[in-house]
Amino acid sequence: MTQLEVTFDEETLREVLLGDRGAEVLLEKVMNEILQAEMTEHIGAEPGEQTDQRRGYRNGTYERTLTTRIGSVKLEVPRDREGTFRTELFERYQRSEKALVTTLMQMVLQGVSTRRVKKITTELCGREFSRQTVSNLTEKLDQQVEAWANRPLEEEYPFLLADAMQLKVRRQGAVRSTTAMIVVGISEEGYREILGFKIALRETGESWKELFENLKERGLRGVEFAVSDAHEGLEKALRASFPGCIWSRCHAHFQRNVLDKTPSGCHDQMKALLDQILEAGSQQEAVRRFEEEAGELREGAPDAVETLKDGLFDATAVLALPEKYHRWLRTTNMLERLIQEIRRREKVIRIFPSKDSAWRLVGALLAEKHEEWSTSRRYLKTDEFYDWLDEQTETEAMDIESEPTNRTLQPA
């Protein structure tokens, strides 16, 4: 498409600056300009322009309302006389919006929706919609999400982050808690990618193992470091699926675990101690700070100190990496923010009508975020990490070579 210039008249600018729909007006103007540019490209001529390349003629417009994350916008969709024009705008528009709409429609059809949900679907889809309409929409969306979720993984991913969230889903005639498990990787080039996800009945070691094995079947390799919370099944699955990788306990989760067991009178002192320990430059330094400073808290917060001691080694495992990577890889906050974004959309649904609908919406949201991350600027540079990894490998090889051979004299 040729370069697009968007202009605003005085009335539009006044509405943007003084009205209540500033963001919607801007989006509406831009999207309508895009639609006109698509029509110009389709027929090969501007309105009223006579050229040898013209392939058709305009035939007015029809109005369409598109509901977006910032509000509803009214679009003037152009038509051509032959009826061959098909805008790419709606096809490119976020899959998550389509997934959200189909989930709402399913809720209405199953009789579990609120009046507000029914109003939304009526405005989006017209006065009525059939089960076949829903079926057609979900089938197309499922194909898109399925293709993304099963794409081959062609790079190495030295860093993994894993976390889970709970969703409410109607299963077996009741509302039941269901788990969405998500894995994010940072590639050898330093880009963040959402590698995969799984909707499971419960968060167990076996369900995490199935997800990791699926990622390996799709090509996941080169994992050297992983960070997650201290869920026992998740930790075991990581260690089993990626033997030899460094596993580090998320600092944010670890701090919450310790502070939850700290009496209010010791809270500030414990928070200061945790900051000192987790901001150390090395694991040895972190242990030294714990041994020197924790004594004062043993009497006032014995359970918290014991929790801190038990998790200290795993929480400081990230300190083995070069220092520049500590701040980027010490928590799963990146994943926490991603889960919060899913939560904002999930609140519209509240209770998913089926496990498939949960998979569809979560998958569509993750696919969009993956595209955003993988095409934006690099998250971190990995050169120094791979240099460090080579040094560790060389050191290990030298240590093995220097070990004395254990020979036992055999009797004659």
Q: Is residue 197 part of a domain?
A: yes
Pair 175, 85 in one domain:
no
DSSP letter (8 states) at residue 232: H
pLDDT of residue 39: 86
pLDDT tens digits, 53-112: 888 888 888 887 776 655 667 888 898 888 888 776 665 555 666 665 666 555 544 544
Q: Check whether residue 55 and residue 122 sit in a common domain.
A: no
CB-based contacts of 2, cutoff 8 Å, min separation 6? 37, 40, 41
- Check: CB of residue 201 under 8 Å from CB of residue 178: yes
Residue 172 lies in a domain: yes
In a domain, 397, yes or no: no
| CA atoms 321, 328, 383, 222: torsion sign | positive
Is there a domain that residue 395 lies in? no
pLDDT above 60: residue 185: yes
186 & 301 share domain: yes
- 367, exposed or middle or buried, with CB in 10 Å at 0-12, 13-18, 19+? buried
pLDDT digits (tens, 9 = 90+) for 11-58: 554 554 445 454 566 667 767 777 888 888 888 888 888 888 888 888
- Phi first, then psi: give them for residue 181, nearest 5 degrees: -105, 135
**24 vs 394, which has greater pLDDT?**
394
Tell which of 82, 115, 148 closes a domain. Answer: 148
Pairing of strands 58-68, 71-80: antiparallel
Q: How confident is the model at residue 117 (pLDDT cuts 50, 70, 90)?
A: low
What is the residue range of 289's domain?
Answer: 154-375
- Please name the residues in contact with 268: beta carbons below 8 A apart, sequence gap of 6 or more: none
Quote the pLDDT of residue 256. Answer: 96
Under a CB-based contact definition with an 8 Å cutoff, are residues 253 and 315 in contact? Answer: no
Same domain, 180 and 325: yes
Whether 158 maps to a domain, the answer reads: yes
Q: Within this chain, do residues 122 and 136 fall inside the same structural domain, yes or no? A: yes
**Whether residue 42 is found in the same domain as residue 140:** no
**Closest-CA residue to 336 (of 411, 232, 241, 227):** 227
Which residues on adjacent β-strands are paired with residue 181?
164, 198
**393 occurs within a structural domain:** no
Note whether 212 and 243 are same-domain residues: yes
Domain shared by 136 and 252, yes or no: no
**The last residue of a domain, from among 133, 148, 163:** 148
% of the chain residues with pLDDT over 70: 75
> For residue 363, what are its two tokens?
């998958």
Let me know: does 198 contact 181? Beta carbons within 8 Å: yes
Does residue 383 lie within any of the structural domains? no
Shared domain check, 174 and 135:
no
- Write down the pLDDT at residue 410: 40
E strands, 8-137, are 58-68, 71-80
Q: Which pLDDT band, with edges at 50, 70 and 90, does 344 fall under?
A: confident
Share of the chain above pLDDT 90, in %: 49
Do 196 and 167 lie in a common domain? yes
Establish if 403 belongs to a structural domain.
no
Q: Is 401 helix (H, G, I), strand (E, B) or coil?
A: helix
Rounded CA gap, 361 and 254, in Å?
30
Give the domain-ending residue among 62, 91, 120.
91
Measured between alpha carbons, how far is 401 from 262 in angstroms, rounded to an integer? 48
Considering all CA atoms of the chain, what is the largest pairwise distance in Å, rounded to the nearest integer?
107
The answer, yes or no, to whether residue 10 has pLDDT greater than 80, is no
- Asked if residue 268 and residue 364 are part of one domain, the reply reads yes
Euclidean distance between CA atoms 215 and 207, whole angstroms: 13
> Does 144 share its domain with 230?
no
Burial of 403 (0-12, 13-18, 19+ CB in 10 A): exposed
pLDDT for the residue numbered 83? 82
Average pLDDT over residues 258-271: 94
Number of domains in the chain: 3
